[in-house]
Amino acid sequence: MKILVFIQIRDDKVEENTLGILNKIKTSIQGVEIIGALLGKDLKDRWIQELGLHGVQQVVTATAPELEVFLSATYTKAMMKIINNVNPRFVVAAGTVYGEDLIPRLAVRSNTSCAQRFVDFTVEGDGLHFHTPVRDDQAMKVTQVVGDIIFATSRPGAFFVDENPTGTAPNVTNVSVTFDDADRLVKHVEIKKAERTVNLKDAKVIVAAGRGVAGKENFQIIRELADLLGGQIGATRACTDVHWVEETYEIGQTGQSVSPDLYIAAGISGAPQHMSGVKAKTLIVINKDEGAPIINYADYAIIGDMHTILPILKEKLK
């Protein structure tokens, strides 16, 4: 099976969900030809070597000043050129913001649909079955894309990166692509990069708060509890987006991934984009809503007002 993987670069490296997909493909499909589509302004040989190591046999590049940052129109156009050139059976991207933007557009241009946010796939005949958690992760839906070409995105955090990759240098080919004014209707202004000043990866205890914290000043009690337990604080994007707490504390798909022994989640609903970054041995939840999806993941849950519960918890722990 010929598979085209949309390669995403972040922080000057191949992004880890993309490496995760490569690992998943290598270990679950036999007789594959893995082709990486690498787009950008200046492409580094280091990235190409890394892709080879992780099993990519051929890298097809497209370079242009317009490809410096992802924009739907330019990336869709360049990817279509690569697709027409490579003629793959399966086109896949990690379901990052960019991946989820790109794949459906490529599907439409190819007159077909796409599977999204899969956490697993299996080979069935000459097709693939995709497993996607739906309804806030209450149910698993298995789907198939019929037709000559299959499009899909994976869910971030779904696959592990191969720690000991043994691949060799890939072949590199290039496609040329040009753009016109119609491709420049959406203008890039800037990327506001979140400053990562605190690394939460190794934290053994995290006390995290969500929108239920209801204001910047209420993070005080979260910090106090974290200090008391010798841990770190964490937050959902709902809190970092409005600067109730520094962006570095964002946990989830677009923030940091954490794997503490203990995660205390107060006023957090449990959106899949947040939970995909949390792998805790023990999860304690404080939420006023018993129906909140996060309760499904909890080992212990108090249904109540965090503003009353947390101060009591702090006093008792002292």
Partner 1 sequence: MKIIVFIQQIVSTQVKLQGVDYFDASRVSDDDLVINPTGKNAIEGALKLKDSQGAEVTAVCVRGIKPNKALKEAIAMGCSNAIEITDEAFYTDDPYLLAKIYAKALEKIGEYDLILLGVDEQSTSSYAAPAMLAEMLNVPSVLTAEEMEMIDSGFRVGHVLEGGKKIVEVPQKALISCSDSQYFIPRYTTMRGILAAKKAVIPIWSAADLGLETSKVNVDAASLKQISLSNIVIEKETFLINEGEPEEMVDKLLAKLKEDEVKLGA
Report 108-137 residues binding partner 1 (CB under 8 A): 108-109, 112-117, 129, 132-137
Closer by beta carbon to partner 1, 45 or else 126 = 126
Query: What does 29 interact with, of partner 1, ligand FAD, none (CB < 5 to 8 A by kind)?
Result: none
Angstrom CA distances, 35 to 58, 246, 282, stand at: 5, 39, 40
Residue 236 binds which one of ligand FAD, partner 1, none, with CB within 5 to 8 A depending on kind? ligand FAD
| Angle in degrees, 0-180, between the axes of helices 97-109 and 72-86, rounded to the nearest 10 | 60
Q: Decide if residue 57 touches partner 1 (CB under 8 A).
A: no
Q: Which does 162 bind (CB under 5 to 8 A by kind): partner 1, ligand FAD, none?
A: none
212 makes contact, choosing from ligand FAD, partner 1, none, with CB < 5 to 8 Å by partner type, with ligand FAD
**Count residues contacting partner 1 (CB under 8 A)?**
95
d(CA 183, CA 78) in angstroms, rounded, equals 11
Helices 219-228 + 306-317 axis angle, to 10: 30
**What is the binding site for ligand FAD (CB under 6 A)?**
97, 210-212, 236-238, 250-255, 267-269, 271, 273-274, 277, 286-289, 292, 305-307
CB 296 within 8 Å of CB 242: no
Rounded CA separation 188/76 (Å): 16
Least distance in angstroms from the C-beta of 61 to ligand FAD:
27
Asked whether 242 and 282 are in contact (CB, 8 A), the reply is no
Q: Which does 210 bind (CB under 5 to 8 A by kind): ligand FAD, partner 1, none?
A: ligand FAD
103 counts as binding partner 1 under rule CB under 8 A: yes
User: For residues 98 and 104, what is the distance between their CA atoms, to the nearest angstrom?
Assistant: 11
Query: CA dist 275 to 110, 256, 268, Å?
Result: 33, 11, 10
Residue 146 vs 217, nearer CB to partner 1:
146
Nearer Cβ to partner 1 (46/188): 188
